[in-house]
Amino acid sequence: MGERILTLRELNRATLARQLLLERASITPLAAIRQVAGLQGQLANPPYMGLWSRLRAFQREDLTNLLERREVVRTSMMRRTLHLTTTEDYVNFRPALATLHARQLESFFGQPLASGLTRERLLAEMQGFLREKPRTNVELRTRLAELVPQMDERLLYAVRAALSLIQVFPGGAWGVGGSPAYAEAQAWLGRSFVPPAEGLRVLIRSYLAAFGPASTKDLQIWSGLSHLQSAVEILRPELTTFRDEQGRELFDLPGALLPSRHTPTPVRFIPDFDNLILAYNDRQRIIPEHYRSYVTPGRSLVLPTFLVDGFVSGIWYIERTPTIARLILQPFEPLPLSISQELQAEGQRLLAWAAEKIDTFEIVVSVYDGSGGKQNMWGRL
pLDDT tens by residue, the chain, 381 residues: 568 999 999 999 999 999 999 999 999 999 999 999 999 999 999 999 999 999 999 999 999 999 999 999 999 999 999 999 999 999 999 999 999 999 888 777 665 566 677 888 999 999 999 999 999 999 999 999 999 887 788 889 999 999 999 999 999 999 998 889 999 999 999 999 999 999 999 999 999 999 999 999 999 999 999 999 999 999 999 999 999 999 999 999 999 999 999 999 999 999 999 999 999 999 999 999 999 999 999 888 999 999 999 999 999 999 988 889 999 999 999 999 999 999 999 999 999 998 877 878 899 988 787 665 454 444 344
Indicate the pTM of the whole model: 0.94
The C-alpha atoms of residue 159 and residue 284 are separated, in whole angstroms, by: 36
- 125 CB neighbour count, 10 Å cutoff: 17
Residue 340 burial by Cβ neighbours in a 10 Å radius (0-12, 13-18, 19+)? middle
Closest CA to 265 of 222, 305, 295, 310: 310
The C-alpha atoms of residue 367 and residue 373 are separated, in whole angstroms, by: 14
Helix (H) or strand (E) holding 186: helix 185-189
Q: Please, what is the end-to-end C-alpha distance for the chain in angstroms?
A: 54
pLDDT at residue 371, rounded to an integer: 61
**What are the φ and ψ backbone dihedral angles of 266, each rounded to 5 degrees?**
-80, 165
For residue 171, CA distances in Å to 23, 71, 177 come to 30, 14, 8
The C-alpha atoms of residue 160 and residue 154 are separated, in whole angstroms, by: 10
- 248 CB neighbour count, 10 Å cutoff: 15
Q: In sequence order, what E strands does 81-210 have?
A: 82-86, 165-167, 182-184
Per-residue model confidence as pLDDT tens digits over 81-135: 999 999 999 999 999 999 999 988 877 766 556 667 788 899 999 999 999 999 9
For Cα atoms 350, 178, 52, give the angle at the middle one, nearest 5 degrees. Answer: 20
